[in-house]
Amino acid sequence: MYDFDAFHDRYATGSTKWSRYPAEVLPLWIADMDFAVAPEIIAALRARLEHPVLGYAVAMAELREQIVEDLAARFDWRITADEIVFLPGVEPGFNMALKARLAAGDAVLVQTPMYRPILDAPGHWGLERLDVPLTRGVEDYEPDRDAIARALRRARAFLLCNPHNPTGHVYTRDDLAFIAAACEANDALIVSDEIHCDLVFDGRQHVPIASLAPEVARRTITLMSASKTYNIPGLKTAFAIIQDPALREAFNGARSGMVDSVNLMGLEATLAAYRDAGAWRAAAIDYLQGNRDFLTRELAQLLPEIVYHPPQASFLAWLDCRALNLGPSPQRFFLDDAKLGLYAGEAFGAGYEGFVRLNFGCTRATLAKAVEQMAAAVAAR
Ligand SMILES: Cc1ncc(COP(=O)(O)O)c(C=O)c1O
């Protein structure tokens, strides 16, 4: 019904992903997908343009109610419409959260490797960052409970990313309960970036940490968006869910003249996504899971030295290339020799120089070409 194999030429469309490198380089870096947006979303945007005035926008009651219903149905998480704060992005959201509740010199816990803007956020507010590496289990990356407990003796906030970028790890209820209890014991704020929560594979269940218990919700700022799942990140629309009124007020106070109203078309697209595009989302998950499994098979066959745990969510693969000895920067090697634009591991924290992140939110044919180019470059070196 939806054609994820269709190739859409994104050159000269103002795409960040397709503008960085020359035409011979296949870009698989920044986290958006090459797929056409759900027809239901396009239809809603077209319909809105029938009204010729595009003034400042607020979220209408229907969108708030849609989110309330979805969170209850999908995650058994009960919130009310006034607990949602609309934002022009998740990144402003985690920065506002830190600014709202922490003072210069306070420490913030993050788990590395980590999406760069989360790593950078504490520095914007004069905060100290405490990096706690994930540990590598047999099948997946896992939180290091002892190190978390130690860091939380000092940290005033836990900046969580679940599902995790770049590893694609989906936190278990048990791990989340441990993190929540440790934050509770040390009176730490929880900022939970759950932007990837709607693209979970293998029938797994995403658990919003705030849904664990009211006392967890009280100390939590959750950040979500339709942007990653429905491939509309260029519309710059996201939302926070903050159930404690005082915390919500402090969060809104941190706008500081820098975080203004939300994109009108983004609000329209978000409503259409959640209300009308469920079938598209299911099909996208199927296709991405197929891409993930294809990548897993291809890497095992063509580049078995790359260590990789198949992600449990989203469209990012975290590849440990250290055994290939590709020099100081595997990203540079794959750019120069394989004509692939990957994300450099060092962006995700200290000690990840030997890694790259590959975005498989592309057609299967593009992915096949990418792996072939990688393997050929490695063989020819
Ligand atoms: C974990 C995570 N948070 C936030 C963002 C960016 O969100 P936004 O564009 O809404 O600021 C991304 C984009 O890749 C992401 O992966």
Inter-CA distances, 342 with 53, 240, 316, 346, 375, Å: 40, 30, 11, 12, 14
Is the Cβ–Cβ distance between 340 and 26 less than 8 Å?
A: yes
Q: Verify cis geometry, omega within 30 degrees of 0, for the bond prior to 163.
A: yes
Q: Give the count of beta carbons closer than 10 Å to the beta carbon of residue 133.
A: 17
The predicted pLDDT at position 139 comes to: 80
- Residue 377 Cβ inside 6 Å of ligand 1? The answer reads no
- Residue 319 Cβ inside 6 Å of ligand 1? The answer reads no
- Residue 193 Cβ inside 6 Å of ligand 1? The answer reads yes
- Residue 89 Cβ inside 6 Å of ligand 1? The answer reads yes
pLDDT tens sequence for the chain (381 residues) = 899 999 999 998 999 999 999 999 999 999 999 999 999 999 999 999 999 999 999 999 999 999 999 999 999 999 999 999 999 999 999 999 999 999 999 999 999 999 999 999 999 999 999 999 999 988 889 999 999 999 999 999 999 999 999 999 999 999 999 999 999 999 999 999 999 999 999 999 999 999 999 999 999 999 999 999 999 999 999 999 999 999 999 999 999 999 999 999 999 999 999 999 999 999 999 999 999 999 999 999 999 999 999 999 999 999 999 999 999 999 999 999 999 999 999 999 999 999 999 999 999 999 999 999 999 999 999
What is the Cα–Cα distance from 326 to 323, expressed in whole angstroms? 8
The predicted pLDDT at position 1 comes to: 82
Distance (angstroms) between ligand 1 centre and the Cα of 91 equals 6
- Residue 233 Cβ inside 6 Å of ligand 1? The answer reads yes
- Residue 226 Cβ inside 6 Å of ligand 1? The answer reads no
Residue nearest to atom 13 of ligand 1 (CA): 31
Type of residue at 92? P
> Of 193, 126, 202, 124, which is closest to residue 165 (Cα–Cα)?
193
The predicted pLDDT at position 137 comes to: 84
What is the Cα–Cα distance from 144 to 150, expressed in whole angstroms? 10
Probe residue for ligand 1, chosen from 87, 90, 124 as the CB with the greatest number of ligand atoms within 8 Å: 90
> Of 66, 61, 165, which is closest to residue 110 (Cα–Cα)?
165
Is the Cβ–Cβ distance between 144 and 134 less than 8 Å?
A: yes
What is the Cα–Cα distance from 318 to 161, expressed in whole angstroms? 15
Q: Considering the entire predicted model, what is its pTM? A: 0.98
What is the Cα–Cα distance from 164 to 133, expressed in whole angstroms? 12
